[in-house]
């Protein structure tokens, strides 16, 4: 199937062609017709399947086709897209900019952590599409800068991460402010009971689309495991980065403090690295991401929440410096590579105290991760240490606390060199070549 077969309007087809896109991903093939028909949609898909294009392309088409060419006065918000993190909101904005390059629609992105002046100015000028994080959205509504009375299409993206970050109560408040007559699109990588219940309050007789369950990892990702003492993880990372084939790498830690420590070690050895996490100012986070995309920064070290919206074209290597304590998080992490049919490599460093996490991960993905034993810091796992206790979700919205640094055996293999390349749009990863009426409503 091609985008030509999805009954898209010419402005969008031209924009997709300019981006080099020809073949939609499975979730795009299934979702775009449903959204164009005006039906509510429940979408279940893991990271990297192209959710952003699945909802933004039909939204742009519907708003463009239904626009009033004689409209006067300030534009009203017709589509609202709510997402949990600033990075993901910005990525969605970039995708909307690319797909809507040949339309006269306006959009803007709002999020917390920065002064609101520029955002309120853009809202005052009027927008058709608003992308927002929950906290700043409710804040500006309370201040009278935003009215949702004209919203026709509502999108809740990454709903499971909303749960993890404690945003569910904010989302419930937001729902009460939306028009009852609307089209709603609900996307989540996982569907725990709390998310199923939330979806039932938002959607009306929805169509369902499910693509590649979160329990599976893409076949295009080569996964490898290193057993290593905690004290030797830095040395192992430096040893791996001696390989010139690794032009860039996304490294994951469980904590903000851990991310900063890894960056400090890398910089001391002359490796350009930056951290991205919640304690960083928004401009610093965006600068770090921009530098990483341009390969000015070789290593980006991230925590899970901050990295949720990171989409980097042709990212070949992901390194789990610390094993995640939530097994689904492992799938999300390594899903940053091996996207859209391209191949990628995921390395994971496992110390004895992380063996319980590893066991949960391998049970979830249904296979053993190949172990690389031929490295200077190899150890035999000590299962007598016992698995760490994974705490159940607690606190506001079910936030999951970390269990460390806070209040698998199989055949030896050698990691292959990834061979990347694809032409299908993966949600949020596009790089707009044509600017349109975004943000302030002026040509960028």
Query: What total of structural domains would you count in the chain?
Result: 2
What sign results for the dihedral spanned by CA atoms 184, 84, 428, 214? negative
Q: What is the mean pLDDT of the chain?
A: 82
Q: Is 14 exposed, middle or buried (CB count within 10 Å of its CB: 0-12, 13-18, 19+)?
A: middle
186/207 Cα distance (integer angstroms): 10
Among 274, 251, 252, smallest CA distance to 263 is for 274
pLDDT tens readout for residues 300-356: 999 876 665 567 777 899 999 999 877 878 888 888 887 766 789 999 999 999 998
What pLDDT score does 400 carry? 35
- 193 with 113, same domain? yes
Q: Which residues span the domain enclosing 326?
A: 221-398
- 210 with 67, same domain? yes
Residue 234 lies in a domain: yes
CB 425 within 8 A of CB 410: no
- 429 with 296, same domain? no
- 265 with 392, same domain? yes
Among 406, 359, 415, 365, smallest CA distance to 385 is for 359
Residue 88 lies in a domain: yes
Residue 51 lies in a domain: yes
CB 335 within 8 A of CB 268: no
- 118 with 200, same domain? yes
- 193 with 244, same domain? no
pLDDT tens readout for residues 340-381: 667 899 999 999 999 988 998 998 888 999 999 999 999 999
What pLDDT score does 22 carry? 79
- 257 with 362, same domain? yes
Which domain CATH number covers 154?
3.40.50.300
User: Model pTM greater than 0.85?
Assistant: no
- 193 with 227, same domain? no
- pLDDT under 50 in the chain at which residues? 386-444
Helix/strand/coil (H/E/C) assignment for every residue in 155-210: EECCHHHHHHCCCHHHHHHHHCCCCCCCEEEEEECCCCHHHHHHHHHHCCCCEEEE
CB 410 within 8 A of CB 370: yes
- 308 with 365, same domain? yes
Locate 221 and state its tokens.
């990702």
- 60 with 93, same domain? yes
- 189 with 260, same domain? no
- Going across the sheet that includes 183-188, the strands are 207-211, 41-45, 183-188, 153-156, 79-82, 129-132, 107-110, 437-438, 442-443
120/146 Cα distance (integer angstroms): 9
Residue 327 lies in a domain: yes
């Amino acid at each position: 199937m091609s985008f030509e077969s999805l009954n898209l309007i010419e402005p969008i087809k031209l924009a997709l062609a300019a981006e080099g896109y020809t073949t939609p991903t499975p979730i795009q093939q299934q979702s775009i017709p449903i959204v164009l028909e005006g039906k509510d949609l429940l979408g279940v898909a893991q990271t990297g399947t192209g959710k952003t294009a699945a909802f933004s392309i039909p939204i742009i088409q519907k708003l463009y086709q239904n626009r009033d060419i004689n409209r006067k006065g300030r534009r009203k918000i017709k589509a609202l897209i709510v997402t949990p993190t600033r990075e993901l909101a910005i990525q969605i904005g970039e995708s909307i900019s690319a797909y809507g390059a040949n339309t006269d629609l306006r959009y803007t992105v709002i999020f917390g952590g920065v002064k609101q002046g520029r955002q309120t100015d853009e809202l005052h000028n009027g927008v058709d599409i608003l992308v927002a994080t929950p906290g700043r959205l409710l804040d500006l509504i309370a201040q009278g800068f935003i009215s949702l009375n004209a919203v026709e299409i509502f999108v809740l993206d990454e709903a499971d991460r909303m749960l993890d970050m404690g945003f569910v109560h904010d989302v419930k408040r937001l729902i009460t402010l939306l028009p009852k007559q609307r089209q709603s699109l609900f996307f989540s990588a996982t569907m725990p009971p709390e998310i199923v219940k939330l979806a039932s309050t938002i959607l009306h007789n929805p169509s369902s689309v499910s693509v590649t369950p979160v329990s599976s990892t893409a076949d295009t990702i080569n996964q490898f495991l290193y057993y290593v003492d905690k004290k030797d993880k830095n040395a192992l990372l430096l040893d791996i980065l001696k390989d010139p084939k690794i032009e860039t790498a996304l490294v994951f830690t469980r904590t903000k403090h851990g991310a900063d420590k890894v960056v400090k070690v890398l910089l001391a050895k002359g490796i350009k690295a930056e951290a991205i996490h919640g304690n960083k100012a928004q401009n610093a986070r965006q600068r770090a991401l921009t530098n990483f995309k341009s390969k000015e920064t070789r290593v980006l070290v991230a925590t899970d929440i901050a990295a949720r919206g990171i989409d980097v074209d042709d990212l070949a290597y992901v390194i789990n410096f610390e094993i995640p304590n939530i097994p689904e998080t492992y799938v999300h992490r390594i899903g940053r590579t091996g996207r859209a049919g391209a191949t990628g490599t995921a390395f994971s460093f496992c110390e004895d105290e992380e063996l319980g996490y590893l066991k949960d991960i391998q049970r979830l993905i249904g296979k053993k991760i190949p172990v690389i034993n031929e490295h200077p810091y190899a150890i035999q796992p000590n299962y007598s240490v016992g698995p760490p206790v994974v705490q159940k979700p607690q606190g506001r919205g079910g936030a999951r606390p970390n269990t460390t640094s806070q209040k698998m055996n199989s055949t030896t293999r050698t990691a292959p060199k990834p061979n990347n390349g694809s032409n299908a749009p993966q949600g949020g990863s596009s790089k707009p070549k044509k600017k349109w009426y975004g943000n302030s409503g002026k040509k960028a």
